[in-house]
Amino acid sequence: MTGGLFERDYTGAPFMLFGREHIIALILVAGICLLVYLFRGFWTEHGMKATRWGLCALIYLCEGSWQVWMWAIGAWTIQGMLPLWLCSVTSWTMPLLLLFRRKWYYEWVYFMGIIGASMALLTPDLVQYGFPHFRFVDFFTLHGAIIVAIVYMTVVEGFRPTGRAIPRVVVITNLFWAFCALVNIKIGSNYLYTQGKLPTPSLLDYLGPHPTYLFWMELIGIGLCLLLYLPFFWLDRKQRRTGDK
């Protein structure tokens, strides 16, 4: 391939964890989510439809272009590019939320989509691909768009999680985790990190050796689900108290 911004052996600045460009990218994602919340009452029916289609197209463009780029530079492998990463699954199935507006899918993606995309944004596995390389821009656009889409469907279109959804989400995610573990054993991959940690610094580094960190990942995942549900729990409790008066 031609053009330094798309080359496999990028000679520009490498990615710096919590460096200036990383912090700016995180602020942009958070800022867009805040704007969606602040202007949540200004969407028309036509605007909501256009937003859903636009977000879906953006997510597919980012995920698809990553697949094409990896193939073009000769880095596409079955061990790393199957849609078995949590954010890849979310990306390819996002029409269930944005186009078909399935409530059961929203409940899963609200918890797992936010957790997966947030962890990816906080500890990206980008190595040498710093800004403005294609991989940097594509990575943060994709994972940021996933979070923005979930926030949009929650605060603008009125979708919301329930406490009863958490056990279902945990069971489904664990079944998928077990499936990925079997795939990893079969083809020598490491989807969802069942076989080992990231080669780059990540939150897993603080959770002990393999397989101990898998247990802590489970507990932390459940804790994060509860934390994500907490605002709605408080809101429901407040509304019940108001209704009793």
Q: Which two tokens stand for residue 159?
A: 């979708």
Residue 230's pLDDT is what?
95
DSSP conformational letter for 206: G
Measuring CA to CA, how many Å separate 52 from each of 49, 95, 144, 190, 212? 5, 9, 15, 32, 40
Check pLDDT > 50 for residue 2.
Answer: no
Using a pLDDT cut of 90, give the percent of the chain over it: 85
Element (H, E) at 161: none
Closest Cα to residue 167, out of 97, 84, 229? 229
Check pLDDT > 90 for residue 235.
Answer: no
Check pLDDT > 90 for residue 3.
Answer: no
What confidence tens digit (pLDDT) does each residue in 194-222 have?
A: 999 877 777 888 888 888 999 999 999 99
Mean model confidence pLDDT for the chain? 93
Measuring CA to CA, how many Å separate 185 from each of 141, 142, 177, 189? 32, 28, 12, 7
Q: DSSP 3-state assignment of 189? A: coil
Closest Cα to residue 28, out of 145, 135, 114? 145
Amino acid letter, 200: T
Q: What is the mean pLDDT of residues 126-133?
A: 93
Check pLDDT > 80 for residue 241.
Answer: no
Residue 233's pLDDT is what?
92
Residue 198's pLDDT is what?
79
Amino acid letter, 41: G
Task: Compute the distance between CA of residue 185 and CA of residue 199 in angstroms, rounded to an integer.
Answer: 19
* Backbone dihedral region for residue 134 (phi beyond 0: left; psi -120 to 50: alpha; all else: beta): alpha
Q: How many Cβ atoms sit within 10 Å of the Cβ of residue 128? A: 14
What confidence tens digit (pLDDT) does each residue in 137-178 have?
A: 999 999 999 999 999 999 999 999 999 999 999 999 999 999
Q: Which two tokens stand for residue 225?
A: 């689900």
Residue 1 banded pLDDT, cuts 50, 70, 90: very low
Check pLDDT > 90 for residue 239.
Answer: no
Residue 30 banded pLDDT, cuts 50, 70, 90: very high
> What dihedral angle (degrees, nearest 10) is formed by the CA atoms of 28, 76, 217, 14?
-50
- Write the CB contacts of 127 (distance below 8 Å, at least 6 apart in sequence): 14, 15, 200
What confidence tens digit (pLDDT) does each residue in 53-101 have?
A: 999 999 999 999 999 999 999 999 999 999 999 999 999 999 999 999 9
